[in-house]
Structure 1
Amino acid sequence: MADEKLSIMCSNVSSTTMQSWRERPPSSYSIKVQNLSQFVSSTLYSDGKYQSRRFSSGDYKWSLIIYPKGNDKNNGSGFISMYVEIDNTSLMSTPPTDVYADLRFFIFNRKENKYFTIQDVESKPFNALRTMWGIPRVLSLDTFNDRKNGYHFDGDHCEFGVDIIVAPPPTKWEIISFDEKVSVPKFSWTVKNFSKIKENPHASNSFSIGGRRWVLKMYPKGYSTAGKWLSIFLFAADGEILKEDEKVNVKAQLKVEDPHGSNHLSYELNCWFKEQGSGYGWDHYVSIDELRKSYLDKEDTLKVEIEFKVVSATKYSSLT
């Protein structure tokens, strides 16, 4: 038999399980039975089950429950059935919460000198209404009882066990919202005497939209192509501080107006602001030649408008 053999199967209780072999013993609890026939006999008057003493795992108290002849009430006839039950006192919390746990059940095989392992691929929610979860069809009794298969050893000994891996409650999260009804979404910027501007960049006044302060910056001499293109970028205004790893999504339309008609030049902006001092926009918004021909009025004035469609906001849990 291979060192590790995996298979996926669906039982009759609509539970997907995974089987494997493992050398390492169970980490949460183990029951070593030294007389299997007497162990089975002892369950005849306890609803066919044996329930272990309580043990701790993941800050909760549990019991391992074994049906050595199968749990008929849970479609486990002809199989060994295994479950874990959480102690009710472990669930005392306000407000009540589910305890999610991954379960792995084990039966030792002396022939392989390994543990037959079966686990449900989904975490199980333990709560006041459902304190017990498990697998009704762990291993067929025909396989288990056939001594040549190795599950009985040293006369009439056998071993069962369980790993309970408790998922901690979620403590790190973020909630992202996208405001699609931005109040006062537009900002208009009238740039007079465009041809005489010497600053590069030339900045607008700061303005507040979507709970943030912004500023537009244009490069009349171009950002990376000297004198050939008008570059325009949107920046977070000075003093608008992003938290560590914070991101703000902006969807907006920026328009350079046509003073001679309605042939405005518009582009859509869709970006995430992630770093202080970063700007987003267009290096080659419009060529300076086309700008002078079509978008400057007779007084050498340029009109720019930005309309915000969406501004995101994010709430974070503590990162400590």
Structure 2
Amino acid sequence: MGSNSAAVSTIVQSWREHPPSSYSLKIQNFSQLEKSTASSDDKYQSRLFSSGGYNWRLIVYPKGNKKDNGSGFISMYVEIDSKSLMIFTPPTEVFAELRFFVYNKKENKYFTIQDVEVKRFNALKTVWGLQQVISSETFTNPENGYVFEGDQCEFGVDVIVAPPLTNWEILSFDEKLLNPKFSWNVKNFSTLKKHLYKSGSFSMGGRKWIIQLYPKGDSRAAGKWLSVFLCLADTDGDKPKADEKIFMQGHVRVLDPLGSNHVSRTLSAWYEESSTSWGWARTLPLTELRKVYLDKEDTLSVEIEFKVVSSTKYSPVI
């Protein structure tokens, strides 16, 4: 029988009215149990019971497990049926939380003790438990209420099996983007009539993006500013799903055709289902734009340089 070797700080004791949920072992004559186990291997093993899809046994040492520093105490363990571990190849590992119970008739409650660390059951370690649940002196004193009505008592256990991990996400940030710049040349800028123009879509960081440009500003710019926004393309594979987030960091520039006085803004934003567009309503005053940022052919050049784009893998997929 292996030792639990748990630090004292991980052992929690409490009282509970609700009986054990996994298994209860009621003894009609505790003294006789002590005698019967002393003539064999000092322990009583319950029949198999099921919890969390696996089969288990409750093991009680009425006089303590001497091989596990349990002398002078009641020792209690849980053993997983080895056949339960052989259902899959390779053999299964099962993680479970264990709570042990001793009924107290006087309090009409269950003394509860557990090691709060979740235990790993596998082919090499099929037994976990507590070697010092309650002292024999405390337990056998009829005045304390653990032994009652002519030597009766009750032990129990909750085996709470942790289900396998099925919900997770992996967030990564791509800082080594291939061809991280995208340029859009808007021709005949001075004669543009529409309120909004959109670039063609382009790929970056596993997503498709577009630039939205308001030649005379959006509703917040009062017709005096150039408004520029970077948006996720409105296609099923690119717009964020419910509760999904995509981070983008980079620079948005209006290029000076002479190459010396670019207007550059740093964009750092999380894109999500309700926010697929980020940028500035007031990117550049139109008076300054007309003086400096149109080339001889009346073309305005806007550039996006990406530094980081995040991606997230989910299970299950949203």
Equivalent-residue separation in structure 2 for 1:298 and 1:142 (angstroms): 100
Answer yes or no: is 1:126 the counterpart of 2:124.
no
Q: Distance in 2 between matches of 1:46 and 1:270?
A: 72
Runs of 5+ consecutive residues of structure 1 not aligned to the other structure: 1-10
Contact 1:13 1:75 (8 Å CA) reproduced = no
Tell whether the 8 Å contact from 2:249 to 2:266 is kept in structure 1 after alignment: yes
Judge conservation of contact 1:236–1:277 (CA < 8 Å) in 2. no
Identify the residue that residue 312 of structure 2 maps to in structure 1: 314
Match of residue 67, structure 1, among 49, 61, 66: 61
Q: Equivalent residue for 2:71?
A: 77
Question: For the Cα contact (< 8 Å) 2:55–2:81, is it kept in 1?
Answer: yes
User: Amino acid of the residue matched to residue 211 of structure 2?
Assistant: L
Aligned partner of 2:228 among 228, 232, 243: 232
131-140 or 54-63: which moved more? 131-140
Superposed CA offset, 1:180-211 (max 9, x none): 21111110112233222222221112212222
Matches within 5 A, 1:195-274: 195-223=190-218, 224-241=220-237, 242=239, 244-245=241-242, 246-274=244-272
Q: Does structure 1 residue 97 correspond to structure 2 residue 98?
A: no
1:181-196 matched pairs, under 5 angstroms: 181-196=176-191
Q: Secondary structure at the match of 2:157?
A: strand
**Stretch of structure 1 that moved more, 65-74 or 29-38:** 65-74
C-alpha separation in 1, matches of 2:258 and 2:77: 80
Quote the offset at 1:17 in angstroms.
1.9
Matched pairs, number:
310
Give me the whole-angstrom Cα distance separating, in 1, the residues matched to 2:284 and 2:71.
78
Q: Name the structure 2 match of 1:8.
A: none
Is the contact made by 1:212 and 1:240 (CA closer than 8 Å) also made in structure 2?
Answer: no
Identity %: 61
For residues 202 and 243 of structure 1, what CA distance do their matches in structure 2 show? 22
**For the aligned residues, what is the CA RMSD?**
2.3
Rounded Cα–Cα distance in structure 2 between residues aligned with 1:261 and 1:208: 26
Alignment of 1:169-184 (within 5 A): 169-184=164-179
Q: Do the aligned partners of residues 222 and 76 (structure 1) sit closer, same or farther apart at CA in structure 2, a change above 3 Å counting?
A: farther
The answer to whether the 8 A contact 2:63-2:74 is kept is: yes
Provide the rounded CA distance (Å) in 1 between the counterparts of 2:74 and 2:186.
Answer: 82
**Structure 2 residues without counterparts, runs of 5 or longer:** none
Q: Does 1:53 align with 2:47?
A: yes
